[in-house]
Amino acid sequence: MRDAPLPIIALLRNPGSAEKLSLSDWDLLVRQARRAGLLARLDVLLKNQGVAIPCQAANHFMSAQIYATQFAVSLHWEIRLIKQALNSVAVKPVFLKGCSYAIAKNRAALGRVFSDVDILVDREALAATEQALSAAGWMPAAELDDYDQKYYREWMHEIPPLQNYRRGTAVDVHHNILPLTSRHCPASKKLLEHSVEINGEWLLSDIDRVIHSAAHLFHEGEFDAGLRDLSDLDLLLKEFSIQPHFWRNLIQRANELKQTVPLYYALRYTRLILHTPVPDEVFAVEEARSCGKLKLKLMDALFLRGLMPDHESCNDRWTGLARWVLFVRSHWLKMPFYLLVVHLSRKAYKRVIGKDQH
């Protein structure tokens, strides 16, 4: 691995360090940040530090910020329409991930753009939710065969993606935060019971938002937005850590939801990569409960590569292998071995014939 941090990592750690960048560094930063989906966020962080962006790079940041601002306006309109559709069947959706950060005005919403709105509902309300959204114009985003329907509806934590036929906007309806077939799948009712109302909408609690972000990132198999998601965690931890007993409550809640390992990875890699101020005593407790030293060395070799932007300047000769291993690992975490063999065999066959949907 490299000795000096990448420009994008250096600025996420300390936006004020941008004063030391050469024009060639700014050029590289723009390309890395664009691939990571972090241009608009960096624009905010740099301006908050009073950094003057060189004119050669300024238009790139301005363009990203204009798009992110317009996206935020459209997002709140979409939230309103989803809520309106589900009011007809008395379902109160819990908004997740980027959508929840925007509603709560968390710092993790800074410059964040994403492709779909994620909501969590009780599993018993899935049928009513799907019917209400369908009546309001959200239809299946793709035609799925019987196996794909079974994959989503019996094994996964969400129904097949829905897309509005008028606006092209997408909504993912979840009934859990991890696949039902995963041995780490939490009880979704525990999440719903602790949900909170903020600005008129229902969200996971602050601590559960952190845990969900960690669970999502460290069960993931594709890391195109890995650094952005790690930056989300960095910003959430910094924002919430001023709450009384935050760290103790976070560890206790992760244990209750069976998310101790992804939380440890979240603390480890935000601290290693972004220098997030995780207290030593908290980190020591989580490290003692984590995997052994040999496994940890392997995970470092994987995540310290996989979490970097998917750009040639961020890669070394092992990056491709690391990303592939993380992809395989994600499937291993999703389902038991016998089911995994069947699923991957079928997935490989469908990919060969050009009909893979997920």
User: What is the domain partition of the chain in residue ranges?
Assistant: 7-352
Q: What would the two tokens of residue 12 be?
A: 């996420």
Tally Cβ neighbours within 10 Å of residue 13.
Answer: 15
Output the pLDDT for position 77.
95
Output the pLDDT for position 355.
61
CA distances for 9 relative to 17, 289, 303, 307, angstroms: 11, 28, 14, 11
- Label residue 211 exposed, middle or buried (CB < 10 Å: 0-12, 13-18, 19+): buried
131-132-137 Cα angle (round to 5): 95
Its pTM stands at 0.93
Tally Cβ neighbours within 10 Å of residue 217.
Answer: 22
Amino acid at 347: K
CB neighbours of 293 closer than 8 A, spacing ≥ 6? none
Q: What would the two tokens of residue 237 be?
A: 């931890």
Output the pLDDT for position 358.
57
CA distances for 257 relative to 25, 130, 230, 288, angstroms: 43, 27, 20, 19
What is residue 161's DSSP assignment? P
Among 42, 16, 47, CA closest to 29: 42
CB 110 within 8 Å of CB 68: no
Q: What would the two tokens of residue 84 be?
A: 């309106």
Measured CA to CA, the distance from residue 28 to residue 236 in angstroms comes to 27
Output the pLDDT for position 107.
97
Q: What are phi and psi of 357, to 5 degrees?
A: -110, -10
Output the pLDDT for position 349.
72
Q: Any idea which fold 7-352 has? A: Beta Polymerase; domain 2 (3.30.460)
CB 186 within 8 Å of CB 258: yes
As averages over each run of 10 residues, the pLDDT of the chain (358 residues) reads 79 94 95 96 95 94 96 95 96 97 97 94 96 95 86 93 93 97 95 96 98 96 94 98 97 95 95 96 74 88 96 94 94 87 78 64
Output the pLDDT for position 117.
97
Whole-angstrom distance between the N-terminal and C-terminal Cα of the chain?
32
Is the backbone of residue 97 left (phi > 0), alpha (psi -120 to 50) or beta? left
CB 159 within 8 Å of CB 118: no
- Burial of 22-59, coded b for 16+ CB within 10 Å and e otherwise, reads eeebbbbbbbbbbbbbbbbbbbbbbeeeebebeeebee
CB neighbours of 300 closer than 8 A, spacing ≥ 6? 272
Output the pLDDT for position 102.
97
